[in-house]
Chain A
Amino acid sequence: MTLDRRRFLGLTAGLSAAALTGCSTAATTPSSAPRTGGRLRAAFAGGGAKEVLDPHLANLFVEAARAKAMFDKLADLGDDVAPRPRLAEAWEPGADLTRWRITLRQAAFHDGRPVRAQDVLASYARVLDPKRAFRARSSLALVDLPNSRAVDDRTVEFALTRPFVEFPNAMAAFGAYIVPEGAEDFTTPIGSGPFAFSSFEPGRSTLLKRNPDYWEGAPLLDELEFVIANEESARTNALLGGQVEYAHDLTPTTARGHADGGRMAIHRSPGSAVQAFAMKLDRPPFDDRDLREAMFLLADRPQLVEAVLAGNGQVGNDLFGKGYRHYADLPQRERDLDKAKYLIRKAGAEGLTVALDTSTAAAGMVEAATVFADQVRGSGLTIEVTMGNKDSYWSDVLKNGSLSSFRSGAMPIETHIAQRLLTGSGTNVTKWARPEFDALYEKAVSTSDEAVRAGAYREMQAALHAEGGYLMWGFADWIVGTAPGVGGISTAPANTLDWARFDKVWLG
């Protein structure tokens, strides 16, 4: 019932928005020159009771954005989804890649205490606490804490349990924030970020104020307020009604309706979210390589991008991270119905019906499943779209079914592989488990030879492209809307440093 209502609301809001802009004046206000002052109100979807200010527990987009406003990580991801130094001014691996020396920049927490090496070690110890379940734990798991040490106040030496050249990716991991040593109570959080805490009402509003002493320069805004509106239509309406100046995560329909920029400015971040179908390799029918290839050939990617993303995206080539560092540019796959039919016959799968599990857990998944089921028609294979529970969807499809909808935000290609494609990965939806692939990964992350590493990444991706379980058909733009005068909004992919970053934003 809820699902129907949500979809209905989204649809009607899109229609009314489109109808309204049809008669609005098409005056585009260019963003003014940067200026200081004012309060920016930003509307995000929230989680009600789930919302917390503990940056290590951040899970939702709004929590990530709030954590980023109040805290810093040692490193964060740049526009190419490669790590950039943040609180760490510099990093230097030892020759065997198991010891990393990190130099901290001169930075201070909001209460004036300097950020010291001890705070870094304490923060990582908190994330790694075996009694907790912080999201960044799997990324930091290779840190050998007992053998890591603070050389002096601004130098940390990390010991790793194995050679790992991509350690900066771990420092940039989702939720790997640096908090003051001993911090446990986050009702009035203290960080080192560009904004300091003012007030918090879970599920409603969080008010932050400018940190004038931020190491990267004080933000332009005086105040930043996060407000919660779970429905996309509500965020759009609040923006149009002048109640907020920034609305996060809008649909392509809304973006299309407001493309003229008269009433709201639309900002797109390309390459933010990959849209895919995941086939499980450890069970029939997709344990058959030919059938997987047939599926790859059945997808009409441009049509999916047009129909599901309303053109706000790019076609995918069954590989994660288009445009990111280490992405392998292999020949683009095109639809080939005849070859697909032949492969389906060859696999003995003619007349077979496969259930495609999907849900509204992420935008566009149900639509994509429906469109794809249509595209498969006439190939000998039948796809039956099955709606799952959106609250437990990601956990359900990890265990059950053979074909499911998939979506993921941006992360380094190395992280994607480590979390989802190694034999022991915690979230291996496709059940891709190949010793030779694991060995290639080991080779890539344990060599400091750039060429060897690039070769290994290319080889891994070639294997995934040829016979992997992810049918990655497109990359969605991330869409945010702002009041026309708001300046300084970045178009970096979602989950990277500049996404939902407000210290460079000004009110026009």
Chain B
Amino acid sequence: MSPTGYAARRLALGAAQVLAVATAVFLLVEALPGDAAVALAGDHPDPTRIEAIRAAMGLDRPGWERFGQWLAGLPRLDFGVSLVSGRPVAEFLGDGIGPTLVLAVLTLVLLVPLSVLVGVLAALREGGALDRVLTSVSVALHSIPEFALAVVLIAVFGVRLGWLPPTAVGVDVLAEPAVLVLPLVVLLARPICSIGRLVRAGMLDALASEHVRHARQLGIGEARIRFAHALPNALAPAVQQVARTTDWLLGGVIVVEAVFVVPGLGTTLVDAVAGRDLPVVQGLALVFAVTTVTVNLLADLVAFRLAPRTGVTT
């Protein structure tokens, strides 16, 4: 199949997936106990007051009517307005996407070369001291959950030693990039390990494969074999892992954003769910769904390009 036809089919499928996610999210949030009026009433849940808030927000209208209105706005890129604050949802997305995007892009920019480096080094020194050290560090680091690592890093480097700002409280992340260092370390720690391991395994497989042996017999230089023949094959599985990591990053990396108080999409999502602010939750779900579909499509296309022989069946 040609890459274009493949991409077109995947895009159509993606659109259907996005719509399915939006519907599912709507139904799930409707099923949560309490609505925006209840959440807004907080610890003063006077029933008459909740009724008044509900009427003022239009929550007394049936769910399908509100969902229909929301769907109708989508072609005009109108995501509705926040139930709670009355601000347009697009504004929420715009506010939150900046910090999350900065974190995600920086993480990816550092992640890809670092993990390839780690994986290739380990593969080329298979069984050696370096490989064993890298392997043990990877396994150890990968087993530490993000929030535990974050708490330790904050306590040591932010609070005890005072080298780096412990949180991003009240700071514009672009104006003071130092606040990004600790979150980046936390975000990088586990993906470097998993992707590095995949690159190592792929590289070892490729180096042991028929066509590399054949290339060696033809007398092609070892460096060329490693980086022009073996590496691309080794990267195909890693690229798909990078795509999954990207989803995870754009998903707000809720824990990291919460610990470091980064006002990104993850924080926006947590607040919106807590406030039962349905239009905002729907808008975010849409963003995440579109991102996931796009990123995976790109990854598959790249993998298709890198290792056409393996075929892409998904």
The residues of A with any CB-CB pair to B shorter than 8 Å are: 2, 5, 8-9, 12-13, 16-17, 19-20, 41, 43, 47-52, 59-60, 130-133, 135, 137-138, 201-205, 225, 227-231, 233-235, 237-238, 240-244, 361-362, 389, 391-392, 394-396, 398, 407-408, 419, 426-427
Are B46 and A138 interface neighbours, CB within 8 A? yes
Closest to A43 in B: B169
Contacts known (A2-B270, A12-B151, A392-B38); A241 close to B85, Cβ less than 8 A: no
- Give 11 CB contacts A-B under 8 Å: A2-B270, A5-B147, A5-B255, A19-B155, A48-B267, A48-B268, A132-B52, A243-B167, A244-B169, A396-B33, A408-B43
> B224 within 8 Å of A by Cβ?
no
Contact of B148 among A12, A51, A391 (CB under 8 A): A12
Contact of A234 among B46, B152, B259, B272 (CB under 8 A): B259
Residues of A within 8 A of B33 (CB): 389, 391-392, 396
Contact of A398 among B45, B169, B259 (CB under 8 A): B45
Q: A49-B87, A203-B267 given. 9 additional CB < 8 A pairs? A: A20-B159, A47-B271, A47-B275, A48-B267, A133-B56, A204-B263, A237-B154, A238-B261, A394-B44
Contact of B82 among A49, A240, A427 (CB under 8 A): A49
> B309 within 8 Å of A by Cβ?
no
Contact of B275 among A43, A49, A132, A137 (CB under 8 A): A49
A29 to B47, CA, bound (A): 49
Contact of A50 among B85, B155, B166 (CB under 8 A): B85
Are B166 and A20 interface neighbours, CB within 8 A? no
A237 to B160, CA, bound (A): 10
Are B43 and A225 interface neighbours, CB within 8 A? no
Contact of B170 among A49, A60, A227, A230 (CB under 8 A): A227
Interface flags, B265-282, vs A, CB<8A=1, else 0: 001101111111100100
> B41 within 8 Å of A by Cβ?
yes
Residues of B within 8 A of A227 (CB): 169-170
Interface flags, B36-66, vs A, CB<8A=1, else 0: 0011111111111110110010000000000
Closest Cβ–Cβ distance, residue A73 to chain B (whole Å)? 17
Contact of B171 among A50, A243, A391 (CB under 8 A): A243
Are A9 and B147 interface neighbours, CB within 8 A? yes
Closest to B49 in A: A133
Closest to A399 in B: B47
Are A229 and B167 interface neighbours, CB within 8 A? yes
Contacts known (A13-B151, A389-B33, A391-B39); A241 close to B45, Cβ less than 8 A: no
Residues of A within 8 A of B34 (CB): 389, 391-392, 395-396
> B260 within 8 Å of A by Cβ?
yes
Contacts known (A49-B92, A50-B85, A229-B261); A205 close to B170, Cβ less than 8 A: yes
Closest Cβ–Cβ distance, residue A328 to chain B (whole Å)? 25
Residues of B within 8 A of A16 (CB): 151-152, 154-155, 159
Q: Which of B246-263 contact A (CB under 8 A)?
A: 255, 258-261, 263
Closest to B50 in A: A395
Residues of A within 8 A of B177 (CB): none
A78 to B175, CA, bound (A): 42
Q: Which of B148-193 contact A (CB under 8 A)?
A: 148, 151-152, 154-155, 158-160, 162, 165-167, 169-171
What is the size, in residues, of chain B's interface with A at 8 Å between Cβ atoms? 58
Closest Cβ–Cβ distance, residue A263 to chain B (whole Å)? 8
> B225 within 8 Å of A by Cβ?
no
A to B contact number (C-beta, < 8 Å):
184
> B295 within 8 Å of A by Cβ?
no
> B306 within 8 Å of A by Cβ?
no
Closest to B154 in A: A237
Are A231 and B258 interface neighbours, CB within 8 A? yes
Taking each of B87, B155, B277, which has the highest tally of chain A beta carbons within 10 Å of its own beta carbon?
B155
> B124 within 8 Å of A by Cβ?
no
Residues of A within 8 A of B46 (CB): 138, 419, 426-427
A203 to B275, CA, bound (A): 13
Closest Cβ–Cβ distance, residue B188 to chain A (whole Å)? 21
A116 to B259, CA, bound (A): 46
Residues of A within 8 A of B162 (CB): 241-242
Are A20 and B263 interface neighbours, CB within 8 A? no
Are B263 and A137 interface neighbours, CB within 8 A? no
> B84 within 8 Å of A by Cβ?
yes
Contacts known (A230-B258, A392-B38); A361 close to B43, Cβ less than 8 A: yes
Residues of A within 8 A of B171 (CB): 243
Are A238 and B56 interface neighbours, CB within 8 A? no
A202 to B96, CA, bound (A): 11
Contacts known (A202-B85, A243-B171, A392-B39); A9 close to B259, Cβ less than 8 A: yes
A230 to B267, CA, bound (A): 10
Are A52 and B169 interface neighbours, CB within 8 A? no
Closest Cβ–Cβ distance, residue B1 to chain A (whole Å)? 40
A150 to B287, CA, bound (A): 53
Residues of B within 8 A of A203 (CB): 95, 263, 267-268, 271
Closest to A131 in B: B56
Taking each of B42, B53, B280, which has the highest tally of chain A beta carbons within 10 Å of its own beta carbon?
B42
A237 to B151, CA, bound (A): 10
Are A234 and B275 interface neighbours, CB within 8 A? no
Closest Cβ–Cβ distance, residue A33 to chain B (whole Å)? 28
3 smallest CB-CB distances across A and B, nearest first, come from: A48-B271, A392-B34, A227-B170
Residues of B within 8 A of A408 (CB): 43
A241 to B148, CA, bound (A): 19
Closest Cβ–Cβ distance, residue A361 to chain B (whole Å)? 7
Closest Cβ–Cβ distance, residue B253 to chain A (whole Å)? 13
Closest Cβ–Cβ distance, residue B84 to chain A (whole Å)? 5
Contacts known (A49-B84, A49-B275, A244-B169); A133 close to B147, Cβ less than 8 A: no
Residues of B within 8 A of A243 (CB): 165-167, 169-171
Are A20 and B155 interface neighbours, CB within 8 A? yes
Are B276 and A391 interface neighbours, CB within 8 A? yes
Contacts known (A9-B151, A241-B159); A41 close to B42, Cβ less than 8 A: no
